[in-house]
Amino acid sequence: MEPKKLSELTDQELLQEAKKKKSAAIINALLIGFLAGVIFFSIAKHTLGLLTLIPLFFIYKLVNNSKYDNTELENLLKERGLK
């Protein structure tokens, strides 16, 4: 099942997507902070290796995972006068 294009969503669905994106950003920030703490702890204990590389991989995945383009969502919300 393919996700709908943003331009095809109704006003209510756009507002829900904006809300989801905001809460997902907060959760991602917390996870990235925790994983960065694991990396700093690993470096402080002089154990470079998998304990450092695995959190780096997860941070990369969290940063690059995005269903829609942020600018496209913001432009549509402004265009429709929803935000």
Residue extents of the structural domains in the chain? 28-83
Contact 42, 48 (CB under 8 A): yes
pLDDT for residue 3: 66
Which among 62, 78, 65 is positioned nearest to 6, based on CA atoms? 78
pTM confidence score: 0.70
- The most confident of the ranges 16-25, 44-53, 69-78 is 16-25
Straight-line distance from the first to the last Cα atom of the chain, in angstroms, rounded to the nearest whole number? 29
Question: How many whole angstroms separate alpha carbon 83 and alpha carbon 80?
Answer: 8
Angle of the 11-44 helix axis to the 70-79 helix axis, nearest 10: 150
Question: How many whole angstroms separate alpha carbon 61 and alpha carbon 21?
Answer: 16
pLDDT for residue 23: 87
- Indicate whether 1 pLDDT > 50: no
